[in-house]
Amino acid sequence: MGRIGVFVDRDGTLIEERDFLRLPEGLRLIDGAAQSIRKLNQRGLVTCVISNQSGVARGLLSEGDLQSIHRRLTEELAREGAAVDRIYYCPHHPGGSVEPYVTDCECRKPKPGMMRKAERELSIDLSRSYVVGDKLVDIQAGRAVAATTILVLTGYGESSLEMSKKENVPADFVAPSIGEAVEFIIRDIDEDAKKRS
């Protein structure tokens, strides 16, 4: 049996939404985000960031810039005693302008390519895992691998909730923020463990 993974979207879920964050200095963790990741760490859950970063394909920042931003994210989490196992990102977009990133890839959410990669690299059982995000594409990516999906109402969450109702793509759980999402995950895992014992 594979490990349980928690896949967390970056912008609007873990950090404050900024349209195309380009500099590490602009990164701000959402209140309670680091403590929430720490709780997942304490439970021994594999925790990964999955993020669409089409700004690379659009020429707004380089992969090097993105690495600097992710170093800053790692440092900010570490200050609170938290860590993620991997940061996966998709730099592609079919409507981009920078080769070789102009492509309709398998990793851009709502496709589940980033999670499939984590499944292979980290021995994760996707059907027992969780996807947390503020956009419909997060929910769709989670549903594509039969994971439990959680829509947070930070970032674009409020408008995504309306869209999910219109398009009949409901999340399994709706949470005000990542803090409540993580509380739900821990409760859900504990309840499942009781049923199995």
Q: Which sequence positions are flagged as catalytic?
A: 9, 11
Tell whether omega for the bond before 112 is within 30 degrees of 0, i.e. cis: no
Beta strands (DSSP E) in 123-177 are 130-133, 148-152, 173-175
Question: What is the Cα–Cα distance from 132 to 70, expressed in whole angstroms?
Answer: 18
3-state DSSP assignment of residue 66: helix
Bridge partners (DSSP) of residue 133 are: 151
Q: How many CB atoms lie within 10 A of CB 159?
A: 13
Question: What is the Cα–Cα distance from 31 to 179, expressed in whole angstroms?
Answer: 9
Question: What is the Cα–Cα distance from 104 to 108, expressed in whole angstroms?
Answer: 8
Q: How many CB atoms lie within 10 A of CB 92?
A: 22
Identify the helix (H) or strand (E) that includes residue 121: helix 113-122
